[in-house]
Amino acid sequence: MEQALYGQGGFYRRGERPAEHFRTSVHASPRFAAAVARLLAEVDVLLGRPGRLDLVDVGAGCGGLLVEILGSASPELAARLNPVAVEIAPRPADVPEAITWRPDPPDAVTGLVVANEWLDNVPLDVVEQTPDGPRTVLVDPATGAERPGPEPSPADLEWAERWWPLREPGDRAEIGRPRCAAWASVVGRLERGLAVAVDYSHVRAARPVYGTLTGYRDGATVAAVPDGSCDITAHVALDACTAAGERAGASATLLTTQRDALRALGVTGSRPPIEMAHSDPRAYLAALCAAGENAELTDAEGLGGFGWLAQSVGVPLPESLRDG
């Protein structure tokens, strides 16, 4: 997975544009960026409007989220805002100069960190329960053919026991330890502020028995063959990341769904009243379009079912999230 995504010539390393292969909330609607901008405004207040407000997008893809937020910021906010895209892929030519583009997160952050669909692309190993006990699954990178490999490391076994216990032969666990470490390193860099991870996720009480490893290419799901031709992703054990973030210094946590988080931030899918179609057809159409986009972002069977993990350091969680 590491080689296929980030190695020489890997899917992301060579600069594949996520929007050409799958649809994230960022591509679905600018209303997602508007909701994040609202969260940023709350974080800004909690921090006492610092002279430099960091906005870090980890796994920024094409940078669309930062471009939207920067574009709609007031001149006062834009003057203090330090937008940083953390992205392994090369910087697209159309990203404004005001946005810093770098391959690794900054050492110290005061502000808001957002990681939308980043953790599901952090490479992991799969362990399968066999009649001889748990085994790390080995994959032929050319064909995707799998076979049982060595016993997992003690650290992987410990993680599985705590977060994804295997019961029957054939059961599989996607060992989310690298995601926990990746998330902890983000929270650990927060001096003061909020970090939010948004992703396909599951919790211990409802892990998918056979795992979620999936490939994406050109908008379709394909076999997860790690040959560099497709995106390879697996849902995120966000409850495990929560514990890792707390160990890394998070002082407050909220684990919720995108549906609830976005509703708390004012994104609702309710349609405009039909009378408006007669009194103001243009406004009606605009409101209908907004409602459609909001409905997609909050659809419990789709993007709305994503997990939102919000953890703060040195400040309380923003009130809208606490109340939502």
Ligand X SMILES: C[S@@+](CC[C@H](N)C(=O)[O-])C[C@H]1O[C@@H](n2cnc3c(N)ncnc32)[C@H](O)[C@@H]1O
Our finding on whether 86 is near ligand X (CB under 6 A) is yes
DSSP letter (8 states) at residue 121: G
Six-digit token string for 316:
């309380």
Q: Hey, how many other C-beta atoms are within 10 angstroms of the C-beta on 8?
A: 8
Nearer of residues 46 and 190 to ligand X, judged by Cβ: 190
Six-digit token string for 153:
């490391």
Pick from 1, 26, 160, 237: which binds ligand X (CB under 6 A)?
Answer: 26
Contacting range for ligand X; rule: CB under 6 A; set: 54-62, 90-98, 143-151, 186-194: 54-62
Contacting range for ligand X; rule: CB under 6 A; set: 87-95, 153-161, 264-272, 294-302: 87-95
Nearer of residues 134 and 176 to ligand X, judged by Cβ: 176
Task: Using CB under 6 A, count the residues that bind ligand X.
Answer: 18
Q: Scan residues 107-146 and list those touching ligand X (CB under 6 A).
A: 116-118, 121-122
Nearer of residues 262 and 315 to ligand X, judged by Cβ: 262
CA distance 162 to 133: 17
Closest separation between CB of residue 26 and ligand X, Å? 4
CA distance 290 to 60: 24
Pick from 55, 89, 190, 315: which binds ligand X (CB under 6 A)?
Answer: 89
Q: Are 150 and 136 in contact (CB under 8 A)?
A: yes
Nearer of residues 13 and 38 to ligand X, judged by Cβ: 13
Q: Scan residues 61-80 and list those touching ligand X (CB under 6 A).
A: 61
Q: Are 234 and 124 in contact (CB under 8 A)?
A: yes
CA distance 306 to 298: 9
Nearer of residues 18 and 111 to ligand X, judged by Cβ: 18
Closest separation between CB of residue 71 and ligand X, Å? 16
Unique residue bearing structure tokens 């076979």: 147
- Collapsing DSSP to helix, strand or coil, 41 comes out as helix
Q: Scan residues 164-193 and list those touching ligand X (CB under 6 A).
A: none
CA distance 50 to 93: 30
Six-digit token string for 255:
């684990």
DSSP string, 201-229: EE-GGG--TT---EEEETTEEE----SSS
Nearer of residues 117 and 128 to ligand X, judged by Cβ: 117
Nearer of residues 122 and 190 to ligand X, judged by Cβ: 122
Torsion of CA 228, 85, 182, 267, to 10 degrees: -100
Unique residue bearing structure tokens 């799998």: 146
Q: Scan residues 6-25 and list those touching ligand X (CB under 6 A).
A: 12, 18, 24
Residue ranges binding ligand X (CB under 6 A): 12, 18, 24, 26-27, 59-61, 86-89, 103, 116-118, 121-122
